[in-house]
Structure 1
Amino acid sequence: MSTIVLAIFIPFFAAAIIPFLYKYVKNIHVGWFAILVPTALFLYLASLIPTISSGDVIVQTMNWIPSYGINLTAYLDGLSLTLALLISGVGALVILYSIYYLSSREALGSFYTYLMLFMGAMLGVVMADNMLVLYVFWELTSISSFLLIAFWYQRKRSREGAKKSLIITVSGGISMLVGFIMVGSMANTWSIREVIADVGTINEHVLFIPAMLLVLLGAFTKSAQFPFHIWLPDAMEAPTPVSAYLHSATMVKAGIYLVARFTPVFGGEAVWFWAVTGVGIFTLFWGSFNAVRQTDLKALLAYSTISQLGMIMSMFGMGSAALYLGYSTESVIYTGSTFAALFHLVNHSTFKGALFMIVGIVDHSVGTRDIRRLGGLITLMPVTFTVATIGSMSMAGLPPFNGFLSKEMFFISTLDISEASFFGLGSWGILIPVIAWVASVFTFVYSTVFVVKTFLGPYKEEKLEHPAHEPKPGMLVSPIILGLLVIAFFFVPNMVGKHLITPAMGGIFPTFAAEGADLGQHIHAWHGFTPELVMTIGVILFGVLLFLTRKYWAGVYSLFPEKRSINTFYGFMLNQIEEKSTLITNKYMTRYLRDYMVYIFTFFILGIGGTFIFTGAYKFTLPENASISNFEWLIVLAMMAAGITVLFAKSRLTAIVLNSILGFGIAILFVLFRAPDLALTQMIIEAVTTVLFLVAYYFLPELDKEDTRKKTKNINLFISIGVGVVFTAVALGVQGNRAFETISSFYENSYELAGGNNMVNAILGDFRAFDTMLEVIVLLIAGIGVYTFIRVRTKKESDQIEDK
């Protein structure tokens, strides 16, 4: 197995080992074993930075289903490497944090198993080149995140949040799969690289736009874009380490990655531009607007994550305009939006991960996340306050923190796109920087609320469950490291820009890179008094004003009551679906086997018979068959007589005997057709089943005691005749028409292939040995079950006799 492919599967191997370590190694916290995996992966991936930054890519393949072109091809370029470093690097810090955060009484074996599963799935998503393989890992992230969100399954809100995230993200994933299938059918390949190379031949296809929209639906649901954002706040019921990992650095970035990866395929289209930019910019505003009204610190960060993801998404949309214009000096200007998106993607992972951990520390220390009960923690938790301030101010886009740099680049992107005339922008383009600026003002407000309401003001010890105190030093290590990175990326941003972001740009704009375009940017903290700096100053001034006057304008939120929210509508629709589906299910799930057989056979008649009638698929030509002897006619007539007579049997014993005549008749036919082995098998099976029927039906009432209505009998008669006719038609049709070459010619060489002179024995004992073995096991289990029931019933009757 190649090294890149192995890197994907290492977390899965760890997930299989961790439960045993947790069970048998008692002296060492299992988290110390788990942390070795992301640490090793991060160091290995970091060692590849020089190779990738030089413009090379690493492609390694492991065969999976090569006959269908489905192989696990790991593709590592600048874009996938950037995401993989975030997945492994932040993953290591989260595990370190969780070692001190989670109690030893928790199910730590399960927790770290789920975390490893999720880590491996995310690595598979960002490294997979095959679209179907990407989808497999994509849905595995949904399943593993469901397990992590519902880790505290005793809590109803945890279960509900996990269910909501699973329903929304898996639904989007299914639509994405349909989009992938459309893309694969258009390009005649499942490889993303090959699709990108052949995009000129598919962009005029009738399925191109539908495929684009379906892929975007998958990306929007995973990255919590409006209106699919409602799952993210409820997912905050997960343990804080899960929130810090899934909802700041990994899972929610999967949709962002998907948009970035497929920008070379769909990016030159107006539909893509407006969908990605429009949804992103509105999500940015809606998330920041709703974050201000939250009273729970994690809920505030949840809506801030929604807002920040919308910001990144909108920048990818604006950057895609460069592909419409083609390679030129003008188009390279718009690639700056994509560069800013990638840079902010990295920045967001640092400051948001730190902030989630800070919320966990506050909750862990004082027992609450309710802003209304917090305040005055600065003197009691100074280290926590310092890291919180660094993260919040970076989120607000203030210097000297990395969020300021990417926020400035975002403003530049919105100003550039507002002056464009393509895609029908015209005068509408001015709305993009306006909405971005308003959303940034609200971002400043909720960032200020986070710090001021938690750490400043009076200390309310009477409202806290525990006196405030700094946590164990180990719990502070991870947020401190992330906080230091927030500052470091401000002072040395080009280290990230040159070695990670610029190579990633080559994966998003491969045609530009092939033509020699310089897709990198030199990031400056100071550009002079530029329009974007004026916008930032305006954000600060209006943000301070709104924060100070919040109680006067907070009534605006009454215009958006919870009972009219998308979340409430989702809950109502889900309840309606559950109620209606339960009603319908109760109509046909009668708990009577005869009703289920009616459904099955009716569908068979309509499906097969309807296909024969309406499609003309049925063809029957009588071939030159061998003549039928009188003895064979007698056997068939006897079987027919038994089959008809069993319908009128008044005794179960009579019915079983008549039914066995059918089976033994077939065995005699096998003898006449010179198949003694089949005849022997048929006789044994028929004898065993007859005995089992006799034993089982001994305890059931006589047939004449059952009240079977005439209407039911008529329905059963009609269905029985229909099934018989359809089966006969199928048998005759198959006999007279052969669509494929018979496989028997392969088995005729059984002696050389399997060393057996008897072809049937070779098939049963060698070619399909596993099938035969499983059939024997099934019969054994069934026999044991029947024997057990008989013994239990016999013992029960014996006990009753003794009691009497």
Structure 2
Amino acid sequence: MTLIHYLILMPILAAAFIPLLGVGAPKLHLGWGAITVPILLFSFFVSYVPAIASGDVFSASVAWMQALDLHFAIHLDGLSLIFTLLITGIGSLVVLYSIFYMSKERESLAHFYAYLLLFMGAMLGVVLSDNLMVLYLFWELTSVSSFLLIAFWFRRKNSRYGAQKSFLITVGGGISMLVGFIMLHVMSGTNSIQEIIAMRDTLHEHSLFVPALVLILIGAFTKSAQFPFHIWLPDAMEAPTPVSAYLHSATMVKAGLFLVARFTPVFGGEATWFWLVSGVGIFTMFWGSFSAVKQKDLKALLAYSTISQLGLIMSLFGLGSAALQGGASTESVLYTKAIFAALFHLVNHSTFKGALFMIVGIVDHEVGTRDLRKLGGLIAFMPVTFSLAVISSFSMAGLPPFNGFLSKEMFFTAVLNANQMTLFSMETWGLLFPIVAWIGSVFTFAYSMILVFRTFLGPYRREKLEKTPHEAPIGMLISPIILCGLIVLVFFMPNQLSHYLLSPAMNSILPTYANMDGLIPHISAWHGFNLELLMTIGVAVIGAVAVKTLRYWYLVYDFFPEHRSIDSGYRWMLSAGERLSHQATSRYMTGFLRHYLYYIYGFLLLITGGTLLLSGSIIIDPSGDAPVAVYEVIIVLVMAAAAIGIPFTKSRMTAALLNGVLGYSIAIFFVLFRAPDLALTQLVVETVTTVLFLLCFHHLPEWSREERSLKVRLPKLLVSIGMGALTVLIALSVQGNRLFDSISSYFEDSYDLAGGRNIVNSILGDFRAFDTMLEVVVLFIAGIGVYTLVTLKAPKGEDERERE
């Protein structure tokens, strides 16, 4: 394994050992130990920036299951480098922030940092994997670890509900994605993503190409909270604020965007991909911003704003995918700006949204509430937090001099270019993109202003607050200060970011373009008085009017009642599924053992018997059998009479004795066939079994009249005859279908091979000694358990307390 392989596994291994740090240093906040992992990883990946910027790509592979084409393959290029820096860089700031946010006296920090590091390792595996199945493995690990993080405060009902909701939706999408990956493997014959990209031209004509495309996009849409799968993200805000700042701004929700970007070279240029990605993205952008304005909880507002921003980036990836249609033509080259804008806004969004989550966490931590109806006038108490909120919120609104302004202008350029597309019938529908984008941007401006001014300005409502407001400690402010510093720095130095990170990522997404340098736009804050600037001015003016007149047009949300929302549909589906499952379960989980045996044996008869009949495998060839003696026939008839008599007996004692006749008759056969050791074993087992039956009967009620009725006995009789006939047919068919030579001749030489004259003992003690040893160990463990249960006594009075 290479160094990168070990670095991916480092957070996962650290997650296993982080609880030990708390035991060894109980006075130390575990965050100080956990923060070393993302800092080391960030430093390592930063060292790759110059090489990646110069065009290098780093790949490594470790064989895992070669027969299944499973390899722990790593591919570090410009696209994966951006995500690794976000995962480790934002991760370092989040852990630092959590040290001052999470109390080591009230919280289980060992669990928290173990889950957080597990998630970090899973995300690194997602963005660095070059094998479809390994990527899927890490993909689902992100869902599991995020479930644990969202449900960290598991005693809260809403936390459990939000974790369950996000898990069901994202894992469901992950399963869809897995099916798409399998289709890709069927089409290409490989699990290597880079090899699949190399053969993209040969895959387009395959009948599975579009189904695989759709299934993979479902996985991406569920993870990145695209409409209509966006409903899990607001409920996931029940997680601690550091989790929200990490998962729902910079990492987990960006996994779907990464998936779309990684597979754009494969599916880009396909009309279905273009319309799904760009169409779903632009509508999600509008719907998220529209829904964010009506929220009263700050984290809920940020949740819907995240949905909106993710939709914006997704739409840009969709519009940019048209660049792969028809080669590097003049029109196609124009679309590459959308890909560049998507990457640029992806980075910018991580900075301002991460800072905003931390700022909201500070307000909640120091004031005791996130309810906008209770907040106001905090600028006098929290001036530093207010300043950070202005920087990050204005960046999200797309105002200068902040990085969000630059990428928002590029977003407007991309949607205006969409109006000029001649591909995919954009002459008809292209006008919708700039219109929807502009309306969504108005709502984006509105909720950004609401977040700042409703929280920090206006009347101070001390009577509604749980705590006396005060500024956060410096330790909690460091992380948002760094992020806000990056917001301003990127605005003044955007082309350095473009050269070292965005350009290599463009080359990864659009590998068919030989000269990428000519396609990288020069980023500047001033382009003259163009349509994009007019759109921005219009957004600010109309957005300000919308905020000022909010109480007059707020009634528009009444046209979208909660009981008719997608979220209510999800809850109805969940409750309906629970009702149906309860009804179905109550029908077959009757509490009667005989019914369960009917299901088990009936299923076995149907599947096994049906398969044998349909495949023609029932072949009986008695030509090689030994002659049957008269006494053998007599014993068989005795056994048959005993077996037939059991269902019709009216006494448990008689049934037990008849069952014993069967067992002892088998022992007689063992004697006749010269197997005295097996006969002895059978006699002992049968004797013990009969005694146990008699002991159990002492504690069981008498058979009722219903249990002796034909209604009860007939199904038993049919199942018994069916299973008996099936067993006999299988035995005879096996006897008549000898595909291989018998291995009995090998064991007959037991004396020379194992030094034992008794073949059975030699098999148990020598030929399969390891298996026998493990069986003995299992019996030993079971014996210890039984001894513990028998001898362990509850403390005096414990039984009385339990009964109370």
**Could you tell me the percent identity over the aligned residues?**
60
Q: Which residue of 1 aligns with 2:621?
A: 622
Alignment partners' CA distance in 1, 2:771 and 2:621: 34
How far is 1:324 from its partner?
1.6
1:94 aligns with 2:94: yes
Q: Secondary structure at the match of 2:522?
A: coil
Q: TM-score, normalised by structure 2?
A: 0.92
Alignment partners' CA distance in 2, 1:84 and 1:386: 29
Deviates more, 1:391-400 or 1:654-663: 654-663
Q: Which residue of 2 aligns with 1:732?
A: 732
Task: Assess, with a 3 A threshold, how the Cα gap between structure 1 residues 712 and 325 changes in structure 2: closer, same or farther.
Answer: same
Maintained 8 Å contact 1:650/1:704: no
How far is 1:351 from its partner?
0.5
Alignment partners' CA distance in 2, 1:749 and 1:42: 65
Q: Which residue of 2 aligns with 1:403?
A: 404
How far is 1:745 from its partner?
10
Q: TM-score, normalised by structure 1?
A: 0.92
Q: Secondary structure at the match of 2:431?
A: helix
Q: Which residue of 2 aligns with 1:797?
A: none
**Structure-to-structure mapping, 1:104-253, within 5 angstroms:** 104=104, 105-253=106-254
Alignment partners' CA distance in 2, 1:674 and 1:133: 55
Alignment partners' CA distance in 1, 2:791 and 2:651: 25
Deviates more, 1:754-763 or 1:128-137: 754-763
Alignment partners' CA distance in 2, 1:202 and 1:546: 49
Deviation readout 1:652-681 (Å, 9 max, x if unpaired): 444334434444544554565566666666
Maintained 8 Å contact 2:754/2:766: no
Maintained 8 Å contact 1:420/1:426: yes
Alignment partners' CA distance in 1, 2:750 and 2:523: 74
Deviation readout 1:86-115 (Å, 9 max, x if unpaired): 111111111111111112211111111111
How far is 1:484 from its partner?
0.7
Task: Assess, with a 3 A threshold, how the Cα gap between structure 1 residues 342 and 607 changes in structure 2: closer, same or farther.
Answer: same
How far is 1:698 from its partner?
3.9
Alignment partners' CA distance in 2, 1:496 and 1:709: 83
Alignment partners' CA distance in 1, 2:301 and 2:376: 16
1:388 aligns with 2:397: no
Q: Which residue of 1 aligns with 2:796?
A: none
1:520 aligns with 2:526: no
Deviation readout 1:761-781 (Å, 9 max, x if unpaired): 787567866654454445456
1:551 aligns with 2:551: yes
Maintained 8 Å contact 1:651/1:704: no
Q: Secondary structure at the match of 2:64?
A: strand
Deviation readout 1:222-246 (Å, 9 max, x if unpaired): 1110111111111111111111011
Maintained 8 Å contact 1:284/1:436: yes
Q: Which residue of 2 aligns with 1:324?
A: 325
Maintained 8 Å contact 2:507/2:516: no
How far is 1:644 from its partner?
2.5
Deviates more, 1:729-738 or 1:233-242: 729-738
**Structure-to-structure mapping, 1:248-327, within 5 angstroms:** 248-327=249-328
Alignment partners' CA distance in 1, 2:333 and 2:768: 61
How far is 1:639 from its partner?
3.3
**Structure-to-structure mapping, 1:579-728, within 5 angstroms:** 579-613=579-613, 615-622=614-621, 624-630=623-629, 631-667=631-667, 669=669, 682=682, 685-703=685-703, 707-728=707-728
How far is 1:609 from its partner?
2.7
Deviation readout 1:613-666 (Å, 9 max, x if unpaired): 4x4443415164231341544444443333233334444444334434444544
Deviation readout 1:724-775 (Å, 9 max, x if unpaired): 223333333344346x767959988999999788987787567866654454
How far is 1:372 from its partner?
1.6
Give RMSD over aligned pairs: 2.9
Task: Assess, with a 3 A threshold, how the Cα gap between structure 1 residues 651 and 448 changes in structure 2: closer, same or farther.
Answer: same
Deviates more, 1:780-789 or 1:455-464: 780-789
Alignment partners' CA distance in 2, 1:756 and 1:205: 63
Alignment partners' CA distance in 1, 2:765 and 2:312: 63
Task: Assess, with a 3 A threshold, how the Cα gap between structure 1 residues 771 and 328 changes in structure 2: closer, same or farther.
Answer: farther
Letter in 2 for 1:233: P
How far is 1:213 from its partner?
0.9
Q: Secondary structure at the match of 2:152?
A: coil
Task: Assess, with a 3 A threshold, how the Cα gap between structure 1 residues 792 and 145 changes in structure 2: closer, same or farther.
Answer: closer
Letter in 2 for 1:620: I
Letter in 2 for 1:142: S
The number of residue pairs the alignment matches comes to 790
Alignment partners' CA distance in 1, 2:561 and 2:412: 32
How far is 1:65 from its partner?
2.3
Alignment partners' CA distance in 2, 1:773 and 1:705: 48
Letter in 1 for 2:718: F
**Structure-to-structure mapping, 1:317-396, within 5 angstroms:** 317-396=318-397
Alignment partners' CA distance in 2, 1:687 and 1:507: 74
Letter in 2 for 1:130: N
Alignment partners' CA distance in 2, 1:476 and 1:750: 80
1:507 aligns with 2:499: no
Q: Secondary structure at the match of 2:369?
A: coil
Letter in 2 for 1:200: D
Q: Secondary structure at the match of 1:369?
A: coil
Deviates more, 1:382-391 or 1:662-671: 662-671
Maintained 8 Å contact 2:664/2:682: yes
How far is 1:365 from its partner?
0.9
How far is 1:686 from its partner?
4.5
Maintained 8 Å contact 1:754/1:766: no
Q: Secondary structure at the match of 1:137?
A: helix
Maintained 8 Å contact 2:706/2:712: no
Deviates more, 1:453-462 or 1:353-362: 453-462
Q: Which residue of 1 aligns with 2:537?
A: 537
Task: Assess, with a 3 A threshold, how the Cα gap between structure 1 residues 746 and 574 changes in structure 2: closer, same or farther.
Answer: farther
Maintained 8 Å contact 2:152/2:239: yes
Task: Assess, with a 3 A threshold, how the Cα gap between structure 1 residues 16 and 679 changes in structure 2: closer, same or farther.
Answer: farther
Letter in 1 for 2:546: L
Task: Assess, with a 3 A threshold, how the Cα gap between structure 1 residues 523 and 595 changes in structure 2: closer, same or farther.
Answer: same
Q: Which residue of 1 aligns with 2:485?
A: 484
Alignment partners' CA distance in 2, 1:745 and 1:314: 69
1:32 aligns with 2:32: yes
Alignment partners' CA distance in 2, 1:83 and 1:778: 48
Q: Which residue of 2 aligns with 1:459?
A: 460
Alignment partners' CA distance in 1, 2:690 and 2:517: 80
Letter in 1 for 2:485: L
Q: Which residue of 1 aligns with 2:798?
A: none
Alignment partners' CA distance in 1, 2:296 and 2:289: 14
Task: Assess, with a 3 A threshold, how the Cα gap between structure 1 residues 785 and 466 changes in structure 2: closer, same or farther.
Answer: closer
Alignment partners' CA distance in 1, 2:405 and 2:675: 84
Alignment partners' CA distance in 1, 2:99 and 2:721: 68
Maintained 8 Å contact 1:387/1:480: yes
Task: Assess, with a 3 A threshold, how the Cα gap between structure 1 residues 392 and 786 changes in structure 2: closer, same or farther.
Answer: closer
How far is 1:276 from its partner?
0.5
1:566 aligns with 2:566: yes
Maintained 8 Å contact 1:281/1:436: yes
How far is 1:374 from its partner?
1.1
Deviation readout 1:152-203 (Å, 9 max, x if unpaired): 1121111111111111111111111111112112222222222222223322
Maintained 8 Å contact 1:506/1:519: no
Alignment partners' CA distance in 1, 2:510 and 2:751: 57
Alignment partners' CA distance in 1, 2:746 and 2:283: 65
Q: Secondary structure at the match of 2:487?
A: helix
Unaligned stretches of 5+ residues in structure 2: 794-804
Q: Secondary structure at the match of 1:75?
A: strand
How far is 1:327 from its partner?
2.5
Alignment partners' CA distance in 2, 1:759 and 1:503: 70
Q: Which residue of 1 aligns with 2:11?
A: 11
Q: Secondary structure at the match of 2:471?
A: coil
Alignment partners' CA distance in 2, 1:184 and 1:781: 45
How far is 1:564 from its partner?
1.6
